[in-house]
């Protein structure tokens, strides 16, 4: 099946650096395919090229080398941009700086207005997406009366109303409190369940574990890619990529170091708990 997003050796360096040939590339030689309906987490330290990658995926930035394809459309051609922006929606980090409308309803409508969706259809979709993100009844609220989590859900609603195939979350949870983070993660899970392709850029290994595939970036390249549970065997690597080590993984490693007979291949919290139970009941 043709992937919804394909990067063929895509690289990017910022314009003002182009005069110096030795100038660093923000992204270099990235090959990546994202299948329709996939849920991918992208991780990596600051400056590893995560956000640059995200902006290449909907034509906000154009590749300096290689090609980026969205649903068979080349992002390098400006005439493709309107369709690409409809297909690939994006939720940004700062909840305040992505809300355009003076009311919840106006903001959800903004993207659809740009697409030229007829008014009746807009009203229908607004009702539907606000229902989905749990903001129905707040149509007339002014955005600054919403909590951080609600603002991000509003941003998600605005993107959903455009009926995209892919939604990119560019560190969309990093400025929220734990409650708001939960709300947004639940919304992401629900979107994925309904068949939307999700690309979630995050610093949190815990959040990345919700995904089906994890892509780790470092120095503008893809360093590692695989299923999240495989990360559990790579504690040293997590540290090297300056990513936090999740508590169950840390616990497993320390217990093993103490000489407890816990299998190395354990892939998640539940398995760990189970093997600990077995150990306890054996005594």
Strand-pair partners of 221: 218
Q: Which of 49, 63, 66, 111 binds another protein (CB under 8 A)?
A: 111
The window from 20-28, 107-115, 175-183, 274-282 that contacts another protein (CB under 8 A) reads: 107-115
Strand-pair partners of 222: 217
* Closest C-alpha to 229, from 256, 208, 250: 208
**Sheet strands (E) in 166-228:** 166-170, 197-201, 213-218, 221-226
CA 212 to chain centre: 12
The yes or no reply on residue 148 touching another protein (CB under 8 A) is: no
The enclosing H or E element of 228 equals: none
Q: How far is the CB of 106 from another protein (least distance, A)?
A: 6
- How far is 22 from 40, CA to CA, in rounded Å? 32
Contact positions with another protein (CB under 8 A) in 66-85: 82, 85
Can you give 65-115 as a three-state secondary structure string? EEEEEECCEECCCHHHHHHHHHHEEEECCCCHHHCCCCCHHHHHHHHHHHH
Contact positions with another protein (CB under 8 A) in 22-61: 58, 60
- Site residue total, another protein (CB under 8 A): 38
28 or 105: CB nearest another protein: 105
44 or 111: CB nearest another protein: 111
Site string for another protein, 152-191 (x = CB under 8 A): ------xx--x-----------------------------
Q: Which of 31, 67, 119, 240 binds another protein (CB under 8 A)?
A: 119
Contact positions with another protein (CB under 8 A) in 210-249: none
- How far is 156 from 150, CA to CA, in rounded Å? 10
94 or 147: CB nearest another protein: 94
Q: By the criterion CB under 8 A, which residues form the site for another protein? A: 58, 60, 82, 85-86, 89-90, 92, 94, 96-102, 105-106, 109-119, 122-123, 126, 142-144, 158-159, 162
């Amino acid at each position: 099946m043709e992937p919804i997003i394909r990067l063929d050796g895509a690289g990017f360096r910022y314009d003002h650096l182009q005069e110096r040939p030795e100038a660093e590339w923000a992204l270099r030689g990235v090959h990546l395919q994202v299948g329709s309906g996939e849920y991918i987490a992208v991780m990596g330290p600051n400056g590893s090229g995560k956000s640059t990658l995200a902006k290449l995926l909907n034509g906000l930035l154009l590749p300096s080398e290689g090609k980026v394809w969205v649903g068979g459309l080349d992002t390098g051609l400006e005439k493709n941009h309107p369709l690409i922006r409809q297909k690939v929606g994006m939720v940004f980090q700062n909840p305040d700086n992505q809300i355009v409308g003076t009311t919840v309803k106006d903001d959800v409508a903004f993207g659809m207005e740009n697409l030229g969706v007829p008014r009746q259809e807009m009203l229908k979709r607004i009702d539907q997406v606000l229902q989905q993100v749990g903001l129905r009844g707040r149509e007339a609220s002014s955005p600054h009366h919403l909590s951080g989590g609600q603002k991000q859900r509003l941003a998600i609603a605005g993107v959903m109303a455009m009926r995209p195939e892919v939604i990119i979350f560019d560190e969309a949870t990093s400025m929220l409190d734990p409650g708001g983070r939960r709300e947004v993660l639940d919304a992401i899970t629900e979107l994925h369940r309904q068949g939307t392709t999700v690309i979630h850029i995050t610093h949190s290994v815990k959040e990345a574990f919700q995904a089906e595939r994890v892509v780790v970036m470092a120095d503008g390249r893809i360093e590692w890619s695989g299923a999240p549970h495989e990360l559990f065997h790579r504690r040293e690597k997590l540290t090297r990529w300056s990513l936090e080590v999740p508590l169950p993984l840390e616990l497993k490693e320390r217990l093993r170091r103490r000489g407890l007979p816990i299998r190395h291949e354990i892939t998640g919290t539940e398995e760990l708990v189970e093997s600990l139970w077995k150990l306890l009941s054996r005594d």
